[in-house]
Amino acid sequence: MIVGPRALHLFASAATAGVILACMESPSMADTPSPPIRLTVDRHDGLVDVTLVGQEISKDRYHYVLEVTGASRSRLAANYVGTRERQIVNRTRFPDKAPWTLSFRITDAEDRLVYSRDIRDH
């Protein structure tokens, strides 16, 4: 089958349009909003300090789970409703003895995953 220049032009135009559309539809990391609760982890003096800071300014309700597994297991599950100001939602501390894994999940009022992060000791 021989393809003429008009068919090649139409194919190239369609392919270019598909690439442009795909770029417009897939959000970049810069477009991704920050999570409603920020997780900070600080390792010092043989300890791991975990702080959750509420950042959501709307009155939306979120459910979060913070779980640490290692030599033992600790799990915190709670709800958070945004306020006008940032606020510390929770602080916890545990020994920095490997191996450990910290898992943090946030879901919205309809139980849709909003944010997820896993941190390991190494």
pLDDT digits over 40-56, tens only? 999 999 999 999 999 87
Q: Yes or no: say if 96 and 122 are a contact pair by the CB < 8 Å rule.
A: no
Task: Specify if 55 maps to a domain.
Answer: yes
Query: Per the domain annotation, does 74 fall within a domain?
Result: yes
| Domain tally, the chain | 1
pLDDT digits (tens, 9 = 90+) for 2-43: 544 444 444 444 443 333 333 333 344 445 578 999 999 999
For residue 91, the enclosing domain spans: 34-120
Q: Is residue 7 part of a domain?
A: no
CATH number of the domain at 106, please: 2.60.40.2420
3-state secondary structure of 42: strand
28 is a domain residue: no
CB atoms within 10 A of CB 60: 13
pLDDT band at 85 (very low <50, low <70, confident <90, very high): confident
Does residue 16 lie in a domain region?
A: no
